[in-house]
Amino acid sequence: MKRLIALLCAVLALTAGAKAVDVSAPSALLMEKETGAVLFAKDEHTQREPASVTKVMTLLLAMEAIDSGQLSYDTMVTASAHACSMGGSQIWLKENEQMTVDEMLKAVCVVSANDCAVALAEQIAGSEEAFVERMNQRARELGMNDTTFQNATGLPAAGHVTSAYDIALMSRELVLNHPDIRKYTTIWMDTLRGGESQLVNTNRLVRFYQGATGLKTGSTDNALYCLSATAERDGMELIAVIMKGATSAQRFEDAQTLLNYGFAGYTLTRIVPETPLAPVPVALGAQATVQPVLGDGGALLLERSKAAGLQQTVTLAESVEAPVALGDSLGTLTVTSGDGGEVVAEIPLLAGEEVPRLTFWQMFLRTLRTAFLAD
């Protein structure tokens, strides 16, 4: 009887949890930015049309071009006839009209301007077709195995598909490594062309959801309503992806459900060793010891119920033999929670530097010095 009652309680708990994260969209996913941990997933690998959420990749490649020096925010971009012919969401660029990269990024992020997305693509790669090749190459590098891009905008095209999981991957890459994108994705209202063109963000969460940081909406007749929504609270940023929502309002409601679930149930903790990590002796090394450092930056995603009363145990190798490469394993920092000592994380301790092996002559000279000192 006791086992039956316990089983019923467990089922009820699971059912309650399921209701707490119930979303109507056929595909959805919730990811934590820092660790990449997936907190919720529903049909996350089914290939679907992403509509303008495609532009997350367009924005990523644009930000990477800025970081590499290929572009600057002040670079002037000239609109081609092809870019001006896009249709759909746009700011009605005229052929040969010029805008800065800064202005075009704003237009893409705030009103999902297809004409500006293609103009940026052509500026970066020479043509939209060449840019799409880069999009697909970058997707492969990120492990987006469900994705094939056919254009830089997300306008309907045969074979242009991705998945909720892949959208989360490229969204994470953008917000994790290019936080400056927030200066565009958090705009609610703005203008271009000296105030002549009014912009209102297609992502209403930017105005109405606490901590919203972006990211990108999308909709077409076939894709229905899609969204990659990002928000940050208490130092933790979450990415909620919705695909094929029935209505615009429903996609935002689903995203809020996922974000609320994540913020209510999880917290991001920075683990710092309670005492300095002792250097590990190195046999036959060019230096006597190697300093261990925390792997993964010490970021630890925990259920809130397990985040209090954390304890640490450090296990280090007694010694290692040279050569030691940067990132070689030296031990483990184990994190436990509660009186029962439940293990919640095992963080690798890695070599923070290289230690080459002694050469024959270095070993010979060291032996001589040891002999003289002994005398």
**Catalytic machinery residues:** 52, 55, 112
Would you mind telling me the total number of residues written for the chain in this entry? 375
Give the residue among 164, 179, 69, 57 at the shortest CA–CA distance from 108.
Answer: 57
Q: How far apart are CA 19 and CA 281, in angstroms?
A: 53
Neighbours of 39 (CB within 10 A): 19
Alpha helix segments (H runs only) across the chain: 2-20, 55-68, 81-84, 101-111, 114-125, 128-141, 164-177, 182-185, 205-208, 248-265, 360-374
Taking Cα atoms as reference points, which of 170, 227, 220 lies closest to residue 201?
227
CA distance 242 to 217: 9
Cβ-count burial of 328 within 10 angstroms (0-12 exposed, 13-18 middle, 19+ buried)? middle
Cβ-contact 327, 345 below 8 angstroms: no
Tokens found for residue 325: 């490469």
Distance CA 99, CA 101 (A): 7
Question: SS3 of 227, please?
Answer: strand
Question: Would you list the DSSP string of 302-351?
Answer: EEGGGSSSEEEEEEE-S-EES-B-TT-EEEEEEEEETTTTEEEEEEEEEE
